[in-house]
Structure 1
Amino acid sequence: MQDEMLSYQWKEDTRISDRIELEQSKKLIAGYKPEFRCYRSLMLMNEAKKVLNLISIGDGVVIACGESKQDFYLAQVSSLYDTGESDGEMFATVIWYFKKEEIPKTKLPRRTFNNEVFLCTANAENVVDVETIINKCAIVYSESPVPINGESEESVSTYFYRKIFNGIKVSNYKPKAENKTSRRKTNGQQERASAKLDKNQTKKADPVITKTPLKSTENTKE
């Protein structure tokens, strides 16, 4: 299959203006400036401008980090924004997940699955150029293995996690219990987006993990 150049565009009418929702995005963006614009969704398109994927906050994504199809990172989008200019750069903040190939074999559990990933709780650069995003995926928490692919050809690959890796050791992931009585009520859309992100908020550990996606000019889809 020939390489296909991707183009990127914010989905119309998804710029965030709701005060509470905007404040949540601001907290995730280091060095936020008033002219920055935050969004809910990003369209990945081919050269003919056909939309291949719609990436929204909370979605899993595949991020290019090498020249071959097997060279990629996995992450979950926590915010989407640009610098405010008409031709300004477009960015995403992400939560990283390690594939088992990225973890030393001596640190891995005795039994792992091909589509099992590990939530990164080490310090890591979490801002990526959106042009390093080459596909969408699903990343779910599950104590039991889940199928990697959906039932249809259009379905995205599914990865599951049940453990974390802090750069030193692998340990069990403990989902946060939801406090229904104290949870602040917001509109339905913002509440669903928050639920996706709250599930994966973790404390940072000391080790620093370096993720190096491709530069935007190197990005192609195989």
Structure 2
Amino acid sequence: MKIALLGYGKMGKAIETIALQRGHTIVIKTSRDSDYNINDADVAIDFSVPSAAFNNISNCLNNQVPVISGTTGWLEQYDDIVSLCEKQKGAFIYASNFSLGVNIFFELNETLAKMMAKLNDYKLDIEEIHHTQKLDAPSGTAITLAEGIIKNNSAYQDWQLDTASDKNIPIIAKRIPEVPGTHIISYTSPIDTIKIEHEAHNREGFALGAVIAAEWLADKTGVFTMKDVLNIG
């Protein structure tokens, strides 16, 4: 496949390495202000910045180029992208995290949330740890985890950053140099703690998942998730 990398930071470079190893060609590498012809690509992978993501994705859909995006911080416009994708009969995947392991972790989180739904003695919190260059807090992955719990446990209605209330899940966001990403779900009662954790060792897992998603999407039409890619859930 001919791949456009929309965003050529650390993730873009990691995706490039994996894509080349899997026999693909990189035909576009963009920075924030780059000019490019998206029609040169068979599929696009967007890991840009929040201010650029909507325009990048729209440009792909308007030109019938399948696109996946792992950029967070722009999701107030997600429904507009879904509408555009349907109008243009395009192909689109957004994921807060493309790591195959994290997407399995999402499923474990939802299963555990169902099991804990009636155990009122347990207090829940989510902790996420990322590198200091990460622009948004909490992470998109942490928000996805919170949404998965809310969907499966009526005790919670929303999440809050660094604080807790009766109906909201506290998300504790930490920024530490050179940490690719760690997410911890803890249920704590007076007598014990139940905890599940995912720890990324490097960016390769995110990059591999993004390339696999792009390969899967290349001949599809519609709006999909990593559950579709991995056939889980």
Higher normalized strand content (fraction of residues):
1
Fold match (TM-score > 0.5): no
TM-score, normalised via structure 1 length = 0.26
TM-score, normalised via structure 2 length = 0.26
From the CA coordinates, give the structure whose radius of gyration is larger.
Answer: 2
